[in-house]
């Protein structure tokens, strides 16, 4: 879907070229056999016009039904599918342009005199109709796959502009929280208890964050703490939402996913120039978030064990001893 605009541009140019070739062929045939034409804009004008209008109606009906199906599925997972697929509203632009072409084509059929120019517009209308249906077919095939929650999750993560998001988190100037689409989708997954889809979206999200070229630059405490603070608030919000459904496997998986993000941030604090105090402060920020999660998840033994495991994994990264009692540790963390 990413190259939809380029695909559409190529197809429209091909349609115009085909129409031009047909007109040139007609001009050549008319020169060799005077009076002969490929299309007669006479008695057949209204018949051809009706056919074009029928094509436009079928196109509009199929698009409408497809969008309705897609929206039903995406709404159940609390995410705007079309906004994910076409962030610049390219599909709507395509439909509008196609409608204008059909409208102009009908005007040409009704009001332009018999000439090669009018024939060119007739051919262009017909070839663009073929282009529209070919493009619609590609969209239908893509939407068919996206109607599956796991495919929708993969698309959401793939379309996430991770470099822009991390840069905004680094500067602590979140003008548009790109992560909100992922968060909204996760809420839908949590509400349905769909652990398989949650695992897919979180694993791919963690991989995309880890493999981002953004981490190649050296960063100081202020920048990394800003990134971790933004991620912490979003993962905590997802965990608290999951806790309202009392689903321990889902809650545990969100904790584990947060641990991976925190580990990625902490791993960047190993370069020269960082003091041990700064590394401890950064780790405390992540541990404090896990303590907040513990407040809502301590009644579930498996969730409590996952939080303890995540805490010890982070403490191991900074060379600290493991925690045995997370409740006592979090009580200590709360002290001024």
23-52 residue pLDDT tens:
666 666 666 666 555 544 444 433 344 444
Query: Using DSSP, how many helices (H) and how many strands (E) does the chain show?
Result: 14, 0
- Whether the pLDDT of residue 153 is over 50: the answer is yes
* 3-state DSSP assignment of residue 295: helix
Distance between CA atoms of 200 and 180, rounded to whole angstroms? 17
Distance between CA atoms of 129 and 126, rounded to whole angstroms? 5
- Whether the pLDDT of residue 13 is over 80: the answer is no
- Per residue in 66-110, pLDDT (tens digit) is 555 555 556 666 665 555 555 444 555 555 565 566 556 555 555
Query: What tokens appear for 34 in the block?
Result: 């005077």
- Percent of the chain, pLDDT > 70? 55
Beta carbons of 186 and 201 less than 8 angstroms apart: yes
Distance between CA atoms of 40 and 250, rounded to whole angstroms? 67
- Identify the residue with better confidence: 306 or 273: 306
pLDDT band at 234 (very low <50, low <70, confident <90, very high): very high
- Per residue in 121-149, pLDDT (tens digit) is 666 666 666 565 555 555 555 556 556 77
Q: What angle do CA 66, 70, 76 make, to 5 degrees?
A: 150
Question: What's residue 306's pLDDT?
Answer: 93
182: closest CA among 67, 251, 84?
84
Question: What's residue 228's pLDDT?
Answer: 94
Beta carbons of 127 and 55 less than 8 angstroms apart: no
Beta carbons of 98 and 127 less than 8 angstroms apart: no
Distance between CA atoms of 173 and 254, rounded to whole angstroms? 25
* 3-state DSSP assignment of residue 27: helix
Phi, psi (degrees; rounded to nearest 5) at 239: -65, -45
Beta carbons of 66 and 85 less than 8 angstroms apart: no
- Whether the pLDDT of residue 326 is over 60: the answer is yes
E strand residue ranges, 111-203: none
Beta carbons of 94 and 8 less than 8 angstroms apart: yes
Question: What's residue 269's pLDDT?
Answer: 85
- Percent of the chain, pLDDT > 90? 23
- Identify the residue with better confidence: 334 or 224: 224
Q: Would you call 47 exposed, middle or buried from its count of C-beta atoms within 10 A (0-12, 13-18, 19+)? A: exposed
**48-72 as b/e: b if 16+ CB within 10 A:** bbeebeebbeebeeebeebbeebee
């Amino acid at each position: 879907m990413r190259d939809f605009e380029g695909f559409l541009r190529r197809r429209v140019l091909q349609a115009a070229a085909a129409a031009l070739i047909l007109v040139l062929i007609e001009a050549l045939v008319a020169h060799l056999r005077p009076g002969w034409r490929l299309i007669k804009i006479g008695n057949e004008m209204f018949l051809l016009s009706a056919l074009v209008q029928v094509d436009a109606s079928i196109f509009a009906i199929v698009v409408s039904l497809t969008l309705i199906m897609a929206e039903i599925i995406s709404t159940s997972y609390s995410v705007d599918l079309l906004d994910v697929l076409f962030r610049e509203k390219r599909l709507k632009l395509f439909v509008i342009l196609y409608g204008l072409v059909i409208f102009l084509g009908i005007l040409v059929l009704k009001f332009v005199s018999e000439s090669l120019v009018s024939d060119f517009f007739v051919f262009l209308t017909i070839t663009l109709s073929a282009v529209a249906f070919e493009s619609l077919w590609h969209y239908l095939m893509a939407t068919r796959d996206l109607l599956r929650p796991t495919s929708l999750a993969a698309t959401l993560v793939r379309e996430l502009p991770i470099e822009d998001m991390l840069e905004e988190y680094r500067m602590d100037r979140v003008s548009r929280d790109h992560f909100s689409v992922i968060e909204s989708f996760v809420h839908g997954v949590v509400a349905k208890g769909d652990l398989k889809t949650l695992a897919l979206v979180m694993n791919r999200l963690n991989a995309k964050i880890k493999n981002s070229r953004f981490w190649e630059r050296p960063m100081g405490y202020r920048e990394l703490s800003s990134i971790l603070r933004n991620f912490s608030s979003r993962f905590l919000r997802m965990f608290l939402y999951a806790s309202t459904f009392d689903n321990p496997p889902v809650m545990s998986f969100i904790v584990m996913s947060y641990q991976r993000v925190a580990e990625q941030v902490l791993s960047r604090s190993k370069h020269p120039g960082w003091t041990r105090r700064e590394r401890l402060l950064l780790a405390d920020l992540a541990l404090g978030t896990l303590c907040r999660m513990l407040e809502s998840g301590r009644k579930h033994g498996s969730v409590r064990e996952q939080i303890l495991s995540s805490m010890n994994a982070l403490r191991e990264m900074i060379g600290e001893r493991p925690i045995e009692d997370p409740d006592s540790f979090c009580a200590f963390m709360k002290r001024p």
